[in-house]
Structure 1
């Protein structure tokens, strides 16, 4: 996504000026904007287009919901015809999930690797601009553009999803945890800085992009495995037995069940795995006698409530911001000592 077809130091004017509509920039800021203006304008255009598409789709969804008589809705759910609108939400949400990949591979990895490979970095740092100042601006301006773009898209998508998030289990908060709130911004900045660090180390654009892709995929796998652990797991239980007439515990609205499922709860407060007495399941009497021998008095279910969603997102984002800060420090220190 970077444009390095010519050396910006040779084409830069003596004083700051504007190319088209650009904020008044000078020095390294103007140089970075000029060098990567094609990538920046592409980012702006993609953001505006994505936001407009989501606004249009939301208007269609709201018009459809408004046209439905309250009596035509299922109790606590949405009309069956709403599935098409839900599919659009899932599709757009999945597309937004690729932002961290694009940020790391196409924006972060070539940012410095391309300059090192083409010799632009050597030319720029041989002028009056210090390495620290150049590195800082090379990181700051693309990061600011990326954060703003991601924040806008995330805000519009959250606005689209909010009216229906509590109306269907299929539109649960866990399905959109990583593409709403502050999480996408932190995630995109993390993969961007990781790509920059890889490019600084490998110094070759294509190789850096490939390696960054592998690292970002690995980060995504780890994130999918650990984000639920950011919440405080709660439980709900019963004490009226587990026979045919007993009522299982009911989870709060929009809660996500955790663990292996439903546990057996004993009178001592211990929890037994659901496979307890499984070999006696074919004989109802034997199964009941087995559970009674283990003093089972009810069920227990673990869950994550929707009320913890925002705190979990901020905690996860905080961890990502911390790692991002470490990677940025590494890039600055490494670049000052061994840039060329």
Structure 2
């Protein structure tokens, strides 16, 4: 039987080029389900924000804004509550479902031992996994945060939450990516130490909720407080609009401070109150506050602390993995 040219195998066909090779391809393929889920979450979340921002714009236009002044919350933004709730739990979700199982799953099913018996070192294998998980988290949090900031910032005077409230401060600018990175790094470290997927997810969830609870009262320390005073019987000056009031006093002409209730809580009648004011020479209100113009600097300061903590957790994870068997 003669051999025709079509029967001869072709040797000049080049293999299809791949964007990823070797260990990176293996890591992405291993975690493709979680990556697809997060990417889908990015797309759906972005579409959600764009849709409801458009609805809010239409409602404000119909109400006559900006020519007609509106009070905060007078036109309640549709979908806003769902958006801020979803953004508030996003760092926890990423920590529990991306961070915690990243290493603990490989430890529990033996993949870690198998991989590290090959030509790949433990540190190189772990570095690749950390790189792709952090990249996924950064892309997700940055895109969603950018869309939410785009929604909130032009209408911040009309929104139900003020700039210093957690649903806004922690979900706009650099804060959301920094929070997501930190809690994901914490989940990875917890998974490395616990070595069991379900238990590491539970511990990570508890840790993440505790961090978000503790973070709330610490937010005010990210900025440098300002002080201002104005006459006792006068209206508050406009510069105190949209500020975060930290404390308030009353003072005499020499600047000596008294507690806000000094002449109120102890005085049974209005005449006694007026007598207390005159006796102590009280003439001014004194306010300690943080201004809206400090928001960006405060966010970058907070993000800096969270990123430093992320670096520390990552360094510990790499050190631990290189020193002890997985």
**TM-score normalized with structure 1 length:** 0.86
Out of 228, 251, 254, the position equivalent to 1:268 is: 254
Q: Where does the alignment leave 5 or more consecutive residues of structure 2 unmatched?
A: 1-14
> 1:292 and 2:278 equivalent?
yes
How far does residue 163 in structure 1 lie from its aligned partner after superposition?
2.1
Residue number in structure 1 paired with 2:134:
143
Out of 241, 250, 255, the position equivalent to 2:243 is: 255
Counterparts of residues 297-316 of structure 1 (less than 5 Å)? 297-316=283-302
Residue number in structure 1 paired with 2:303:
317
Indicate how the Cα distance of structure 1 residues 51 and 237 shifts in structure 2: closer, same or farther if over 3 A, else same: same
> For 1:17 and 1:24, how far apart are their aligned partners in 2?
10
What is the CA deviation profile of residues 177-216 of structure 1, one whole-angstrom value per residue up to 9, with x for unaligned ones? 0000000001000000101101111111111111111111
Residue number in structure 1 paired with 2:194:
202
Residue number in structure 2 paired with 1:337:
323
Out of 127, 149, 153, the position equivalent to 2:144 is: 153
Indicate how the Cα distance of structure 1 residues 17 and 136 shifts in structure 2: closer, same or farther if over 3 A, else same: farther
Indicate how the Cα distance of structure 1 residues 182 and 17 shifts in structure 2: closer, same or farther if over 3 A, else same: farther
> For 2:243 and 2:213, how far apart are their aligned partners in 1?
23
> 1:180 and 2:175 equivalent?
no
Instruction: Give me the CA root mean square deviation.
Output: 2.0
> For 1:71 and 1:24, how far apart are their aligned partners in 2?
49
> For 1:206 and 1:55, how far apart are their aligned partners in 2?
36
Indicate how the Cα distance of structure 1 residues 329 and 70 shifts in structure 2: closer, same or farther if over 3 A, else same: closer
Residue number in structure 1 paired with 2:20:
25
Indicate how the Cα distance of structure 1 residues 114 and 71 shifts in structure 2: closer, same or farther if over 3 A, else same: closer
> 1:236 and 2:228 equivalent?
yes
Matched pairs, number = 309
Out of 56, 60, 65, the position equivalent to 1:61 is: 56
> For 2:325 and 2:140, how far apart are their aligned partners in 1?
29
Residue number in structure 1 paired with 2:184:
192
Residue number in structure 2 paired with 1:96:
87
Residue number in structure 2 paired with 1:4:
none
Q: Say which one has the larger Rg.
A: 2
> For 1:17 and 1:197, how far apart are their aligned partners in 2?
37
> For 1:79 and 1:234, how far apart are their aligned partners in 2?
27
SS at match of 1:276: coil
> For 1:26 and 1:77, how far apart are their aligned partners in 2?
56
How far does residue 149 in structure 1 lie from its aligned partner after superposition?
0.9
Q: Where does the alignment leave 5 or more consecutive residues of structure 1 unmatched?
A: 1-15
How far does residue 279 in structure 1 lie from its aligned partner after superposition?
4.4
What is the CA deviation profile of residues 46-105 of structure 1, one whole-angstrom value per residue up to 9, with x for unaligned ones? 1101101111111111122223335984x453683x12x1x5223301210111101111
Counterparts of residues 74-113 of structure 1 (less than 5 Å)? 75=69, 77=71, 80=74, 82-83=75-76, 85=77, 88-113=79-104
**TM-score normalized with structure 2 length:** 0.89
SS at match of 2:300: helix
Indicate how the Cα distance of structure 1 residues 271 and 334 shifts in structure 2: closer, same or farther if over 3 A, else same: same
